[in-house]
Amino acid sequence: MFSRFCKLCPQTTNVQFVKLQRCYLGFAQNPDETKFPSAAQFTLTSATMPSRLQEVLQNIVNMDSLVQVSSDKLHHVLVSQKFMRVGSSNKPVELLKYIKPKVANKEPVIVFSNSNNTCGWVNMFLKRSNINTVHLSGTMPMYTRNGMYADFKSGRCNVLCTTNAGSRGLDTVAVKHVLNFEFPFDTADYIHRCGRTGRVGSVKDCRVTNFISTPAEITLVRRIEKATRKMKPIPICNIYETQEDNTYEEPLDLNVDANETAEQEFSIPY
C-alpha cells in the first residue's frame, strides 16, 4: 500500500499529512526513496504492525519522532476465546450445534474459513439446514460483497460466512460471535478475525470460538495461550514456523482424540 502511494504521488514536497490505515499491508518491498517535508505528519494505524516497518520507513521518516499510542483505554474489554478440539469429520455437526442457538436468539455470527471452497460449502450446508446466511469471498465483485454485507449488517441475516476477505475493514458493533470453522494459518489473521467482534460500542459478552483439528493448529494455539498467560502481545507467526520449532511449551488441555471434543477457554488482550 505504501509503495503504491509513493508511485501514485511522486511529488511529495507539499505533502502535509500521510495516514496509512491497516498498515500491515504493502510492506513486502521497500518503496523507492521518497522525500517528504520535514514538517509532514505520519499516522499509521493497524491491529498488527509488520516487523519490517522500521526497515521500510527509516529512510523516509525519523523513527525516533514516531510516538506509539496504545493503551487499555483505547481498547474494548477482553473478549473470551474458546478453543475446541474437533475432528474434521465432526465439524458439520459441531457447526450446527454452535449456530442454531445463536440464530434462535438473533445473535449475529461471523463464520471464518481459510478457502473460498470451504466458505462456499459452509454457506451451502447451513442453507440446506434451513439457516439463513450470506457469504463473502475475495473473488466476488465489490458491489456483490457490499450487498451481502449490507444484508448482514442490517440484521436481515444473522450469519455471515467468509474468508480472510472479511477479517479486515468490516466495522459493525452488532457482531456478538466469531467462529473460526477453520483456524487461520497465522496469528496476524487470527487477531484480525477476532477484531470483528468486541468492538468499541458493541454488545457485551462477545466471544470467539475456534475449531482445532490438527497438531500444527494446537502448536499455534499454544503460542497464543503462552502470550496470554504472560499478558504479552501475541507473537506474529504462522503454522509452518511452529512446525519447525521444537521448543518445549506447557501442554494445553486439548484432547487429541478426533472423536471427542475438549475445550480450553481464556481471554486474550488482542
Q: Is 8 domain-assigned?
A: no
pLDDT digits (tens, 9 = 90+) for 216-228: 999 899 988 888 7
Give the mean pLDDT of the chain.
77
Burial class (CB in 10 A: 0-12, 13-18, 19+), 78: middle
Grid cell 463464520 — which residue? 111
Q: Is 45 domain-assigned?
A: no
Total Cβ atoms within 10 A of residue 191:
21
pLDDT digits (tens, 9 = 90+) for 121-179: 999 999 999 999 999 988 888 888 889 999 999 999 999 999 999 888 787 888 999 99
pLDDT of residue 200: 75
Confidence of residue 73 (pLDDT cuts 50, 70, 90): very low
Q: How many domains does the chain have?
A: 1
Q: pTM of the full predicted structure?
A: 0.70
27 vs 195, which has greater pLDDT?
195
Measured CA angle at 87 (ends 84, 93), to 5 deg:
80
pLDDT of residue 184: 95
Question: Contact, 126 vs 92, CB < 8 A?
Answer: no
User: Which alpha helices (H) appear in 115-236, and where do they start and end?
Assistant: 116-128, 142-154, 187-194, 215-229
Judged against a pLDDT cut of 70, whether residue 207 lies above it is answered with yes
Q: Is 40 domain-assigned?
A: no
Beta pairing partners, 45: 21
pLDDT digits (tens, 9 = 90+) for 99-108: 999 999 999 9
Judged against a pLDDT cut of 70, whether residue 6 lies above it is answered with no
Q: Is 134 domain-assigned?
A: yes
Q: Is 4 domain-assigned?
A: no
CATH of the domain at 127: 3.40.50.300
Q: Is 269 domain-assigned?
A: no
Q: Is the dihedral of CA 146, 189, 193, 93 positive or negative?
A: positive
CA 85 vs. chain centroid, Å, equals 20
Residue range(s) defining the domain that contains residue 206: 80-237
Percent of the chain's residues with pLDDT above 70: 61
Question: Contact, 254 vs 264, CB < 8 A?
Answer: yes
Judged against a pLDDT cut of 50, whether residue 246 lies above it is answered with no
Q: Is 207 domain-assigned?
A: yes
Q: Is 243 domain-assigned?
A: no
